[in-house]
Amino acid sequence: MKPWFFFLFLIIVGCGHRAPKKPISGRITDSAMVVSAHPLASRIGVGILRRGGNAVDAAIATQFALAVVYPSAGNIGGGGFMVLRLKDGTATTLDYRERAPAAASDTMYLDENGDAIPALSERGHLASGVPGTVAGLVEAHSKYGSMSWAELVQPAIDIALNGFVLTQKEAENLNEIQDDLKDLNSVLPEFLINEVWKAGDSIRYTDLGHTLERIRDHGAAGFYEGKTADDIVAEMRRGNGIITSEDLRSYKVAWRDPLFFTYKDYTVISMGPPSSGGVALAQLLRSVERYPLNEWGHNTARSVHLLTEAERRAYADRSHYLGDSDFVQVPVENLLSPLYLSERMKNFNAEKATPSHEIKAGPITFHESKETTHLSIVDSQGSAVAVTTTLNDSFGSRVVVAGSGFFLNDEMDDFSIKPGVPNMYGAIGGEANKIEPGKRMLSSMTPSIVTRNGKLFMVVGTPGGTTIITSVFQTILNVIEHKMTMQEAVEAKRVHSQWLPDSLYVETGALLVDDSISLSLMGHAIRTRDAIGRVDAILITPDGKLEGGADPRGDDTADGY
């Protein structure tokens, strides 16, 4: 095969239709809605809403349910972020991201020569940060919950103890980790071991069910103290991990000011540091705001080129400036200023890709003091919650806490284990995100709420590692600029670029042949890949109804009434 023919073949493989020819409607409801990664979890959340619970109540019940039915990302052994907008328009954000244990150091994943050992931060006991999910849900309930705590935890307990039926995707997920379960666990989690899991198989999480009972009866103490904490510490000792009982007892969540920014006549409410998501999303939307994307069309060469160039610059800034604002000075105001962003896009060439090695973080003077899951909820009063929660990689560290039955995260890989060394998602980190005891690792999670003229417009978020930011970015543009329905916007094929590596990733079928060739001739290194993101979102339609967009890339389900 001649080289030019092979090159053309690679381009054509990733090509397809630009957008659905006929509008695709998602689930439409009148009053309330939950969109999450699993049908059972969505059903439980809606059940809470029907019983008079509010959006926070439903979010808590849905998250605990996901810890059972979607253990690859739903969790009590990880952490996350919550963005909340109340019916009166007030907004806040809750940070329950994992923290580095007290014994952590910036050399803990380096060998004697100072070279990084990535496997240590990706798998096994040493990869885990101190979990924050349970503390976060308890805190959210204490401030905004309306139903009793026990009522919100009980549905997940019932599923864990009585068992449930696996979907095809969940069976496949369990099959993929069988070797790791055997190799990485100090005590074999026999309830997860099977020669071949199949759709329709039943599974029970008995130990997890009893752990949830302790959380139901004792709140945060049911996790951070007593038997569950003892099980975590014993697990760490057997596997040479470093989380201690003091790390667990001293874990604290943080209420943080939301990040507000505008895009045309829309206002976006998102998460600030230690999430990079809100800052990067704001940079992206503001960088493309003055260009006529609606005229250029969805996933055309012209549009994709612009998005990619903006993404390269935003991810370069992310690498250099962003980290836990409790430990480093993050110049949010500077990064989002119109003058700064205008300067960043000044060398944008509409006809040619900018090589990533020519892009650095912008100059700033300081003046101001992959597996994840998302759920979107709107209650009947108009309050909205966007939650993204994670173990990091699918099933986290692959370590199950013996006696308590849940997976621990591998979030330590989200730190810069060494400046300039990419993590498992290819993201390059710098000094701002180095490992320090008690520090929260940088995240890409981007739970967001969009309003228009003071009224709720959209609730949106997704899993996907570093692709989270670009997936949310494109979903918002799909609705606002390309006039898609919520379900169309969620289903539309996505593209992704993140500065380094210097590649433009496209889902198979995302681009037409002519557009792929044009982008390649501009200098973009196109790489086809499987699903990018799993967006779960809710749109408030002009007549006041709720349209749920549930991503078909997973078992995601919109439910409501």
For the stretch 275-313, pLDDT in tens is 999 999 999 999 999 999 999 999 999 999 999 999 999
Q: Which residue would you say has higher pLDDT here, 359 or 400?
A: 400
B/e letters for 51-60, b = 16+ CB within 10 Å, e = fewer, are eebbbbbbbb
Q: Convert the pLDDT of each residue in 372-393 to its tens digit.
A: 899 999 999 999 999 999 999 9
Q: Which residue would you say has higher pLDDT here, 399 or 367?
A: 399
Q: Convert the pLDDT of each residue in 176-215 to its tens digit.
A: 999 999 999 999 999 999 999 999 999 999 999 999 999 9
Q: Do the Cβ atoms of 414 and 392 come closer than 8 Å?
A: yes
HSE of 37 in the Cβ direction (CA atoms, 13 Å)? 30
DSSP state of 557: E
List of domains in the chain: 1-43+76-129+253-561 (3.60.20.40)
The stretch 111-132 carries a mean pLDDT of 95
Q: Do the Cβ atoms of 397 and 371 come closer than 8 Å?
A: no
Give pLDDT, residue 13: 47
pTM of the model: 0.93
Residue 152 CA to residue 81 CA, distance in Å, equals: 19
Q: Is the pLDDT of residue 429 over 50?
A: yes
The stretch 89-115 carries a mean pLDDT of 96
Q: Across the strands, what pairs with 460?
A: 448, 537
Give pLDDT, residue 275: 96
Q: Do the Cβ atoms of 386 and 448 come closer than 8 Å?
A: yes
Give pLDDT, residue 425: 65
Q: Which residue would you say has higher pLDDT here, 435 or 2?
A: 435
Q: Could you tell me the pLDDT band of residue 537, with boundaries at 50, 70 and 90? A: very high
Residue 239 CA to residue 235 CA, distance in Å, equals: 6
Q: Convert the pLDDT of each residue in 72-86 to its tens digit.
A: 999 999 999 999 999
Q: Convert the pLDDT of each residue in 472-498 to its tens digit.
A: 999 999 999 999 999 999 999 999 999
- Report the catalytic residues: 372
Residue 104 CA to residue 392 CA, distance in Å, equals: 18
Q: Is 207 helix (H, G, I), strand (E, B) or coil?
A: helix
The whole-chain average pLDDT of the chain stands at: 93
Query: CA separation (Å) from 176 to 231, 371, 392?
Result: 26, 14, 16
Residue 498 CA to residue 316 CA, distance in Å, equals: 8
Q: Is the pLDDT of residue 174 over 90?
A: yes
Residue 552 CA to residue 256 CA, distance in Å, equals: 33
CB atoms inside a 10 Å sphere around CB 69: 25
Give pLDDT, residue 16: 62
